[in-house]
Amino acid sequence: MTPLVHEIAGLAIPELAQQFGTPLYVYDARTILERIGHLAAFDVVRYAQKACSNIAILDLVRKNNVLVDAVSAGEIHRAMAAGYKPGFNDPPEIVYTADIFDHQTLDMVVELGVPVNCGSPDMISQYGQRAPGNSITLRINPGFGHGHSQKTNTGGEQSKHGIWHEQIEDCIERANEHGLTIAGLHMHIGSGTDMEHLSQVSSAMEQAALVVGSSITSISAGGGLPTPYRDGDDLVDTAAYYEQWDATRGRLAKEFGHHVSLEIEPGRYLAAESGYLVAEVRAVKQMGGNRYYLLDAGFNNLARPIMYGSYHPMAVCPANGDTERAHQQVVVGGPLCESGDIFTQEDGGFVSSRSLPEAHVGDYVVIGCAGAYGHTMASNYNSKPLTAEVLISDGSPHLIRERQSLDDLIRHERIPG
């Protein structure tokens, strides 16, 4: 994204803002489709919908042969609303991956027949009591992990995720007690991982699969593929990554004497760069040495900067169509009653300024790489309604989520008496 922008996917930003209001999430379908194409060599691309779970996005990926992961009853419900079918097909369209079952979700996966990827020994027993004889997969914590932040590192003993790699034999026993077949293994060591760590996962998988043996018919590399947030960051070499996993899969298939299917489970890689958060500048003020642009979007809309100190690219869209603006050092923040409501964060420091084009009240600031973990992590904090979402496909903007109303905010609340 250049620092001065006028369009998203060929559509004028001020017109999108006027038609749908701000703050506004805008997704470009082409980016998602392009990214799906990069992963086509894998037998199964299973979208980690937690990244961006609007049912229109799920419908888009489903129509492009991408299957789906669900981490809650709500995500199973979304997947089905977008046309995915539950059931033990090979490969299953929906898989439930988690470290626990809440009661509602356990009932749901048993009643609908949604295959489960167990992230704790207790899940195996709880599922086995309800659905003896079924196939399951296990999410293994290989003892190491990595993420763009310690909060997104999902491997090693500092992480609560998965079944500890030294407990696989115990889990085989638990599964046997209920006649469950361990048909697949899965590893996801973190989100926004680097390739150095990701490239260690396939050999950990190979060792784990050999412990389980020939009941294994599928392996999943999990998600975690990094995406470029900063200018100059490259897209990862998915072909090389595939080859590494394909070699692992090939050795296992030879050992077991049957085909082993290879899955990948990306969230960020498919969704991050497709999404933009468009906000209007509502105040420009000088506070001592710091110049602030205050937007109508805050961390209620995009939590990643305050939560992880994450860097997001930003651009200014002049409402008057200017094609040149002088740059200045600015801090970009939102409307919320918290000092940490600042988008120009990096390396965990919350008031860091950035060089951006001059902006006035009524101009727009566009925050890029906001498609993954943007709207799905939004909240109603400060009683701000959730924003609308728009998907641009075939050159047209489609409203895929209505903006919440003020009545929506209090719809489920009751005053006693």
**Closer by beta carbon to ligand LLP, 20 or else 101:** 101
Q: Is 266 in the site for ligand LLP (CB under 6 A)?
A: yes
Active site residue 337: yes
Q: Determine the straight-line distance between the first and last CA of the chain, rounded to whole angstroms.
A: 54
Least separation in angstroms between residue 269's CB and ligand LLP is 6
Minimum CB–partner distance for residue 284 and ligand LLP (Å): 28
What mask, x for binding ligand LLP by CB under 6 A, covers residues 331 to 370? ----------------------------------------
Instruction: Round to whole Å and give the CA distance between 350 and 364.
Output: 22
Assess 267 for contact with ligand LLP (CB under 6 A): yes
Task: Write the burial class of residue 21 (CB in 10 Å: 0-12 exposed, 13-18 middle, 19+ buried).
Answer: middle
The answer to whether 275 touches 374, Cβ cutoff 8 Å, is yes
Task: Rank residues 118 and 331 by Cβ distance to ligand LLP and give the closer one.
Answer: 118
Biggest CA-to-CA distance, the chain: 71
Q: Which position among 16, 39, 45, 51 is part of the footprint of ligand LLP (CB under 6 A)?
A: 51
Q: Is 224 in the site for ligand LLP (CB under 6 A)?
A: yes
Q: Are 125 and 145 in contact (CB under 8 A)?
A: no
User: Rule CB under 6 A: is residue 97 a binding residue for ligand LLP?
Assistant: yes
- 169 labelled as ligand-binding? no
Tell me if 338 is assigned to a ligand binding site: yes
Q: Who's near 333: CB < 8 A, 6+ residues apart?
A: 292, 293, 294, 295, 298, 341, 342, 343, 344
CB of 417 to ligand LLP, least distance (A): 40
Give the nearer residue to ligand LLP in terms of CB position, either 95 or 390: 95
What is the C-alpha separation between 338 and 406, in angstroms, rounded? 21
Q: How far is the CB of 381 from ligand LLP (least distance, A)?
A: 16
300 touches ligand LLP (CB under 6 A): no
> Is 224 labeled as ligand-binding?
yes
Which DSSP letter does residue 83 get?
T
Whole-angstrom distance, CA of residue 142 vs CA of residue 160? 12
Question: Within 10 A of 325 (CB to CB), how many other CB atoms are there?
Answer: 16
Q: Which of 273, 245, 235 is nearest to 38 (CA)?
A: 235
- With binding defined as CB under 6 A, does residue 264 bind ligand LLP? no
Nearer to ligand LLP, 29 or 68 (CB): 68
Q: Confirm or reject binding of residue 229 to ligand LLP (CB under 6 A).
A: no
Of 154, 227, 164, nearest to 194 (Cα)? 227
Residue 249, interface with ligand LLP (CB under 6 A)? no
202 in contact with ligand LLP (CB under 6 A): no
CA atoms of 348 and 192, how far apart (whole Å): 16
Q: How far apart are CA 72 and CA 108, in angstroms?
A: 10
Binding letters toward ligand LLP, positions 67-86, x by CB under 6 A: --------------------
Q: For ligand LLP, which residue of 38, 174, 304, 375 counts as binding (CB under 6 A)?
A: 304
**Cα 362 from Cα 292, distance rounded (Å):** 14
Residue 364 annotated as part of some ligand binding site = no
- Catalytic sites, residue numbers: 337
Annotated binding residues for substrate: 268, 304, 308, 338, 373
Annotated binding residues for pyridoxal 5'-phosphate: 224, 265-268, 373
Q: Which residues bind ligand LLP (CB under 6 A)?
A: 48, 50-51, 97, 152, 154, 188, 191-192, 222-225, 265-269, 304, 372-373
